[in-house]
Amino acid sequence: MEMAEFLIRGGKKIKGEIEVRGAKNSALKILPASILFANPIGITNLPLIEDVFRMLELLKALGIRVEKPNGRSLKLGGSEVKIGHLRSDIAERFRASIVLAGPLLAIGKTVTFPHPGGCVIGKRPIDIFLDGWRSMGAKIRSNKSSYTIEAKRLVGSQFIFRKVSVTATETLMLTAVLAHGKTVLKNAAMEPEISSLAKFLNKNGAKIKGAGTSTVEIIGTGGKLLRGGKTFQVIPDRIEAGDFLILGAALKSRLRVIKCNPEHLEAIITMLRAGGANIKSGHDWVEIRPGRALSGLDVTTREYPGFVTDLQAPFTVLMTQAMGDSMIFETVFDGRLNYVEDLVRMGANVTILDPHRVLVHGPTKLHGREIESPDLRAGLAFIIAAMVAEGNSVVKNIYQIDRGYEKIEERLQKIGADIRRVG
């Protein structure tokens, strides 16, 4: 059981600059891609977070040579993969472990892995991945504890996603690059992390077209490893950047978010401006300044370029501080509004309409409390709530937060937050 926790004293304004790290959800796809190459690859701007450490452990357990990170840079791959078997004790701890199954299947013709786990929302189905592999000629066996995927010969296919899925799009891309012939993925996800992954693979010898649109075409090498040898710079984490803008808005403070890509932040910036926020941006920064009192807004989470589900919880916290009613509609995940009960205990006035919709009546004062992070994004939302609240809060189960945010307390302290890690 996780013992460390954050102690937060709320009610303080913040100011200054805060730096965004490399994107967790990009790094977690680039690392497994490294086994597809004949030569080692380099990665820079790697976020030093728990999920990245877990992925590196999985790679090492497969015999992949991983150099110790030098700051945020790392070299890996170009070595032979030992076994097509993901270590279950590690893979069960985070959902993105399944991404590694794609390239492993492509190389080793067989892969065994446990049902991927993680936080409360991490244990979601993997049926779409399985359908995708089946369409390329794979056979699937499963029992209580694991799945085994086998394909003597992987053949490119036409695959239509029944439901848009980010990691399934990426994982199937990572399988198809070594398959025989052409794969066409339709109704594919369009997140910036996907175009970035394709760019990186193409730079290292892959042939992928259309990534970032809903149709992705991949010409497979027919089993031959990709060349590799090049270095990849992880794109800035757009979720972290969005969290910080929301924090600035919630505390009515002036905050400059630096080392981010404003192009990836259009949905959140548009939403904040619609509520009255005063936002300026440049090439790689966005600044929020105290403006008029924020008004309530309705938000529906969607696939990119819509409003991202990962900012839903922080945004709901913000809406407790806005004037009027806000309807929050979570359409991407089940169970991603459960944290709301804790917000209510902190003083928020929220009507739960159904498992996917809540109505926030603002503004309300929040009061410090002891709260436990159910997943990393709700965990970060609790940090924001605690910083807005009067009095002291304890945020528990912070492994969930460390999974995706690098030393968040140190970066928040620098802009004036009263937050400490204990235990």
Decide: is 25 part of the binding site for ligand EPZ (CB under 6 A).
yes
Pairing, β 74-76 against β 41-44? antiparallel
Closer to ligand EPZ by CB, 14 or 168: give it. Answer: 168
Tokens of 239: 């979720």
- Of residues 352-381, which lie at the interface with ligand EPZ (CB under 6 A)? 376-377
Spatial separation of the C-alpha atoms in residues 310 and 223, rounded to whole Å: 36
Active site (annotated) includes residue 260 = no
- The residue (of 194 and 389) whose beta carbon lies closer to ligand EPZ is 194
| Helices first, then strands: H and E counts in the chain | 14, 24
Nearest to 183 by CA among 208, 149, 153: 208
Out of 8, 52, 96, 136, name the contact with ligand EPZ by CB under 6 A.
Answer: 96
Task: Single out the residue of 137, 184, 180 nearest to residue 160, CA to CA.
Answer: 184
| Token output for 355 | 């498992």
Does the protein bind ligand EPZ through residue 237 (CB under 6 A)? no
Q: Which helix (H) or strand (E) holds 39?
A: strand 37-39
Shortest CB 357 distance to ligand EPZ, Å: 16
Give the binding range for ligand EPZ (CB under 6 A) out of 161-169, 263-271, 277-285, 384-392.
Answer: 161-169
Return the range that interacts with ligand EPZ (CB under 6 A); candidates 159-167, 262-270, 271-279, 364-372. Answer: 159-167
Burial code (b: 16+ CB inside 10 Å, e: under 16) for 307-321 equals bbbbbbbbbbbbbbb
Q: Does 47 bind ligand EPZ (CB under 6 A)?
A: no
Q: Does 310 bind ligand EPZ (CB under 6 A)?
A: yes
Distance CA 108, CA 172 (A): 15
Q: Of the residues 119, 234, 267, 408, which is catalytic? A: 119
Judged by CB under 6 A, which stretch of 53-61, 70-78, 124-132, 351-359 contacts ligand EPZ?
124-132
Minimum CB separation of residue 341 from ligand EPZ in Å reads 19
Least Å from the CB of residue 418 to ligand EPZ: 26
Q: What is the Cα–Cα distance from 195 to 26, expressed in whole angstroms?
A: 10
Structure token pair of residue 23 = 């994107």
Q: Which of 230, 177, 236, 167 is nearest to 203 (CA)?
A: 230
CB burial string 70-80: b at 16+ within 10 A, e below? eebebbbbbee
How far is residue 139's CA from residue 25's CA, in Å, rounded to a whole number? 28
How far CA 238 is from CA of 6, 244, 298, in Å, comes to 24, 10, 21
Phi and psi at residue 15, to the nearest 5°: -165, 160
Name which of 201 and 294 has its Cβ closer to ligand EPZ: 201
Would you say 6 and 394 are in contact if contact means Cβ atoms under 8 Å apart?
yes
Phi, psi of 53 (to 5 degrees): -65, -40
Judged by CB under 6 A, the residue of 79, 333, 372, 413 near ligand EPZ is 333
- Binding piece for ligand EPZ, criterion CB under 6 A, among 62-70, 162-170, 258-266, 363-371: 162-170
Is 129 a binder of ligand EPZ (CB under 6 A)?
yes
Pick from 16, 63, 125, 223 the residue near ligand EPZ by CB under 6 A: 125
Say how many residues touch ligand EPZ, by CB under 6 A. Answer: 25
Binding mask 392-411 for ligand EPZ (x = CB under 6 A): ------------x-------
Give the one residue of 197, 245, 286, 332 binding ligand EPZ; rule: CB under 6 A: 332
Task: Report 241-260 residues binding ligand EPZ (CB under 6 A).
Answer: none
* 127 touches ligand EPZ by CB under 6 A: yes
CB-CB contact of 299 with 272 (8 Å): no
Site for ligand EPZ in 270-309 (CB under 6 A): 308-309
Q: Least distance to ligand EPZ from the beta carbon of 373, Å?
A: 11
Among residues 291 and 333, whose Cβ is nearest to ligand EPZ?
333
CB atoms within 10 A of CB 226: 22
The one-character DSSP state at 121 is T
Q: Does 128 bind ligand EPZ (CB under 6 A)?
A: yes
62 binds ligand EPZ (CB under 6 A): no
Residues recognised as catalytic: 119
Residue numbers of the site for ligand EPZ (CB under 6 A)?
24-25, 28, 95-96, 124-129, 163, 165-168, 189, 308-310, 332-333, 376-377, 404
